[in-house]
Amino acid sequence: MLKLENISRSYKKTRALIDFSYEFERGVTAILGPNGSGKTTLFNIITGNLKPDSGTVTLTSTGARRIGFVPQYPGMYPDFTVAEMLDYTAKLARAENAKAQIDEVTEAFGLGEYNGVRVRALSGGTKQRLASAQAFIGSPELVVLDEPTAGLDPMQRILFKNYINRRKGGAAILISTHITSDVADVADKVIFLRRGQLVTDGSVDEICEKFCGRCWELPAGSNVPDSVPCRVSGERVRVISDATPVPGAISVEPELDDCYLAVFGEDGVGIS
């Protein structure tokens, strides 16, 4: 559906993307990485808003349908109401059954009560939902959402994931986030992007499999050396370590959070 080959891009001395290759398929692909890992640069290149220094982007779509793109900080017309913004998007996208599509996204993103409200008066989270709603109008084959859940409360996050799940059969949906729980529920494929490079990719299960044998649970109160990446899970502490970290540690099945910790926990800790 969308093939990226050997994409590199620098800003002066900062290498934001380094030799990135990946073939995106229908379904949800989540790009996970901390701030500065190159997610926005990648999305801007995919959507044609930024030229790579080298490499190619090929969209092998089946028709001429549009790309739905939500940038991290969407630019919108502040004087438009929510209803006008959606109507305008439907016209730009030449959406068939525009009214039905607008009604669907209005319902899915909980925008009904804001129909008559001007964009300038919306909270950040509501603006984010409006932007996501716009991205799905016009039945795009490729939907690119840059940190779409950042400003959402837990209920809105659930509604967002439910909607993504409903639409993912008909489009390649790319989502960037640093929230692993957003990904674990809906992503068919996950990419870990670190300092502009793809570190590992696969389904959530495949990625967890790669870290098998490196995730340990310690009894409460254990002393963890500073150099060992760890996270609290209930009463226990989970750590990433190639060998038994302390006597009494139990080897456990990695979760996506553990994999994230292994890749981003500290320099030099990662999968080769």
Name the residues that contact ligand ADP, by CB under 6 A.
Answer: 11, 14, 16, 33, 35-41
| Smaller CB separation from ligand ADP, 11 or 155 | 11
Rounded (10°) angle between helices 124-136 and 82-92: 30
- Minimum CB separation of residue 56 from ligand ADP in Å reads 19
| Smaller CB separation from ligand ADP, 28 or 32 | 32
- Minimum CB separation of residue 196 from ligand ADP in Å reads 7
| Smaller CB separation from ligand ADP, 11 or 116 | 11
| Smaller CB separation from ligand ADP, 35 or 62 | 35
- Minimum CB separation of residue 197 from ligand ADP in Å reads 11
- Return the structure tokens found at 47: 């959507």
- Minimum CB separation of residue 82 from ligand ADP in Å reads 27
- Minimum CB separation of residue 9 from ligand ADP in Å reads 8
The total of other beta-carbon atoms located within 10 Å of residue 59's CB is 14
What b/e sequence results for 190-228 when a residue is b if at least 16 CB atoms lie within 10 Å of its CB, and e otherwise?
Answer: bbbbbbbebbbbeebeebbebbeebbbbbeeebeeeeeb
**CA pair distance 96, 137, nearest whole angstrom:** 9
| Smaller CB separation from ligand ADP, 28 or 42 | 42
- What are the Cα distances from residue 100, in Å, to 51, 104, 105, 137, 138? 36, 6, 9, 10, 11
